[in-house]
């Protein structure tokens, strides 16, 4: 949930969010706040439970965040392998003498 909380915080700073996402954000923020042992959220913004629809939207967001992390990690690994392959090719070319020089 901390990833969902961080994502919703940044989204709420960049654009207005509707009432469902506001409720989801306050619910997640309250759970994260308690989990980190920071005490209680202020009573006027505390959301104890969310509707089934909001829970489905939260689960969809968490799934999307998970797949975004996987995709970013895979792209990073691909770039690293591509760079290593290019470096190996350059090293091979430097080590092998040219058979014919024109």
Per-residue pLDDT reduced to its tens digit, 9-33? 999 999 999 999 999 999 999 988 8
Quote the mean pLDDT of the chain: 89
Residues 87, 76, 84: CA angle, nearest 5 degrees: 10
Instruction: Write out the two tokens for 26.
Output: 């306050």
pLDDT of 83 reads 94
Q: Is 47 exposed, middle or buried (0-12, 13-18, 19+ CB in 10 A)?
A: middle
Domain layout of the chain by residue ranges? 2-74
Q: Residue 89 — very low, low, confident or very high, per pLDDT cuts 50/70/90?
A: confident
Q: What is the dihedral of CA 19, 21, 22, 28, to 10 degrees?
A: 150
Q: Is the pTM of this model over 0.85?
A: no
């Amino acid at each position: 949930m901390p990833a969902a909380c961080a994502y919703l915080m940044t989204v709420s700073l960049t654009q207005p969010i509707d009432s469902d996402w506001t409720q989801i954000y306050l619910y997640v923020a309250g759970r994260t706040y308690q989990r980190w042992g920071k005490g209680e959220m202020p009573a006027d913004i505390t959301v104890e439970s969310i509707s089934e629809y909001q829970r489905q939207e939260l689960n969809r967001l968490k799934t999307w965040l998970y797949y975004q992390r996987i995709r970013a990690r895979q792209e990073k690994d691909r770039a690293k392998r591509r760079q290593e392959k290019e470096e190996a090719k350059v090293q091979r070319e430097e080590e092998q003498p040219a058979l014919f020089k024109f």
